[in-house]
Amino acid sequence: MRHRTAAGLRLEQAMNKTLLPLVGIAAFAIPLALPAVASAQSSSGGANYQATLDPVATNMVDGSGMATVTLSGNQATVSVTANQLLDASPHAQHIHIKGAGECPKADAAHDHNGHKAISTADGQPAYGPIGTSLTTKGDTSPNSALAIDRFPSTGSFHYTRTMTVTPDVAAAVRANNAVIVVHGIDYNHNGKYDSVLGASELDPKLPQEATAPAICGALNSMPTGGAGTGDGATQAAAGGNSSDLIATGLGAAAVAALAGTLILRRRNAAAQR
């Protein structure tokens, strides 16, 4: 074995100064990256569902809205935002289940006091019977379907409430077979519920306008935070999603391997001089 020349020794020392810090960086980066990935993958929480609330066909409604449901077990947090409905009037709202999981189309309309409109009963084959009454307080069962003093009573509102729903409702939401319906229309645009469509088939003491469906939307599942999307906490801490972190870890490992290989080669070449 030959002795290393002065030039070879200086070359080896220069390579050590350049590559050894990279080995240290790689060794430090991998432990940082992998726990962050594990954190993103272990993120869990309630499943999220969303509905766009559109005007029910034929019912002369200009309003619109959005609804979300966060479901964990049988615990549901429901939010409903509605706009441009009849003001100063109660708007019953419900989660409907066990129907076709959709909103009624125009061909569901029937004659009501000489006018074509969709009543709650007309729409039931599409959205099904009531599963949960979205009241502002108290009971949320179908028994409160017409508890008009416990529903929002303005034309535009934002409603949020956490409640326990029945297993049937929870199962329907998870199966994308639940529909949010907000009721109460002003068919003839005279600023009040009146008898233009006759009496409600749900309660003859109420006008049909008070119980007819106004805006409606089918609930559909939304992506949640975690390995696929990267939850907010992980992204804030790591500056990116889990795929970025995996790439960082693999890049650091490659740097470590390359640095080690180059050092070994330089040492062997210098020893043979």
Residue 2 has pLDDT above 50, yes or no: no
Residue 109 has pLDDT above 70, yes or no: yes
Per-residue pLDDT tens over the stretch 123-180: 999 999 999 999 999 999 999 999 999 999 999 999 999 999 999 999 999 999 999 9
Q: Is the dihedral of CA 113, 114, 117, 118 positive or negative?
A: positive
Confidence at 42, pLDDT banded by 50, 70, 90: very low
Helix H segments across the chain?
A: 6-41, 120-127, 167-174, 208-211, 232-238, 242-271
Residue 15 has pLDDT above 70, yes or no: no
SS3 content of the chain, % helix, strand, coil (to 5): 35, 25, 40
Residue 218 has pLDDT above 60, yes or no: yes
Question: Residue 224 has what pLDDT?
Answer: 61
Amino acid at 128: G
Per-residue pLDDT tens over the stretch 126-139: 999 999 999 999 99
User: How far, in whole angstroms, is CA 186 from its chain's centroid?
Assistant: 31
Per-residue pLDDT tens over the stretch 227-239: 333 333 333 333 3
Per-residue pLDDT tens over the stretch 181-204: 999 999 999 999 999 999 999 999
**What's the rounded mean pLDDT across residues 209-216?**
98
Question: Which range (78-82, 116-120, 254-258) has the least confidence?
Answer: 254-258
240/252 Cα distance (integer angstroms): 17
pTM metric for this prediction: 0.68
Domain boundaries, the chain: 6-43+227-271, 47-222
Q: What is 47-222's CATH number? A: 2.60.40.200
